[in-house]
Amino acid sequence: MKRIVTIQDISCVGKCSLTVALPIISAMGVETAIIPTAVLSTHTMFQGFTFRDLTSDIRPIMDHWQKEKLGFDAIYTGYLGSFEQIDLMKELFSRFRGKDTKVIVDPCMADNGKLYPGFTPEFAKAMAGLCGQADIIVPNITEASFMLGVPYVEAGSYDQAYIEDLLKKLAGLGSKQVVLKGIEFKTSRGRIGIASYNAETGEYSWYFHKKMKTSFHGTGDIFASVLTGALVRGLSLEKAYALAGDFVVRSIAETLSHDDHNTYGVDFEAAFPMLLRKLDRELKG
């Protein structure tokens, strides 16, 4: 069985980071090792959350794993809370990156033109440095803008040339492939898109899907988790992010179908049958 490691926080309630990555990647048939970077009572959109930093455990975990000669088919980093954790992820890449290991960085720190609480433009620059060491990065447009130090342009106010330029600049940070989420052109008409750029072939690809009327926390983590699972199972990057986009749409639809739904995260659990059916169909070709 393929094995990945994902490094991000545990928000005990909130349906994001490890509480979505672990069930999703496991359900996709991939062993999912974890390094929790912190334990929070909830994600940071709740008021009054507790926070226990686990940075000092990260290097001893790596030391032990190296003694055990453990290797990974992919390394996927999500929400990271400090400059020190970014540096530790660079160390982890150099210690555990095998010849065929895919390194996926989700620079999880901003959305809708704003940084999440606790993050600064300097942190975004440091995250750009981590993205430079990845094989694949999956920012949204806000994260891309902060990492490149360019003004955030509102959805619907840019054209295809602008997105292609952004993708090329992101690849300039150093990763071979860039997947950019949350693209809406003036002409998109109720659709929202994902674009990718392969710096080795110079090719762009696009996938547009239905835009849901409500957005929820944790959907970026769900997207990156499905993408990681699908890539490790052998899907192409384009098929992997189409599956990830479809799963997010279905998870939001499941959530909105219940009047008493949570407002902090989506009911991705109810969309698993669809995910596994589609994955199986893709694998059988």
Residue numbers 170-199 binding ligand PXL by CB under 6 A: none
Applying CB under 6 A, which of residues 135, 221, 246, 267 lies at the interface with ligand PXL? Answer: 221
184 vs 221, beta carbon nearer ligand PXL: 221
Applying CB under 6 A, which of residues 83, 116, 152, 158 lies at the interface with ligand PXL? Answer: 116
d(CA 138, CA 127): 12
116 vs 162, beta carbon nearer ligand PXL: 116
CA 43 to chain centre: 16
Task: State the angle between helix axes of 272-284 and 219-232 in degrees (0 to 180), rounded to the nearest 10.
Answer: 30
Name the residue with the smallest CB distance to ligand PXL.
44
Binding of residue 6 to ligand PXL (CB under 6 A): no
Those residues with Cβ within 8 angstroms of residue 40's Cβ, 6 or more apart along the chain or in another chain: 9, 10, 11, 12, 14, 49, 50, 51, 52
The closest alpha carbon to 168, from 199, 143, 139, belongs to 199
Size of the site for ligand PXL (CB under 6 A): 15
Applying CB under 6 A, which of residues 43, 102, 181, 278 lies at the interface with ligand PXL? Answer: 43
Binding of residue 218 to ligand PXL (CB under 6 A): yes
CB count in 10 Å sphere of residue 187: 9
Applying CB under 6 A, which of residues 40, 74, 137, 235 lies at the interface with ligand PXL? Answer: 40
Question: What is the DSSP track for 219-237?
Answer: HHHHHHHHHHHHHHTT--H
Binding of residue 17 to ligand PXL (CB under 6 A): yes
CB count in 10 Å sphere of residue 178: 27
Applying CB under 6 A, which of residues 6, 19, 32, 44 lies at the interface with ligand PXL? Answer: 44
Binding of residue 244 to ligand PXL (CB under 6 A): no
Binding of residue 58 to ligand PXL (CB under 6 A): no
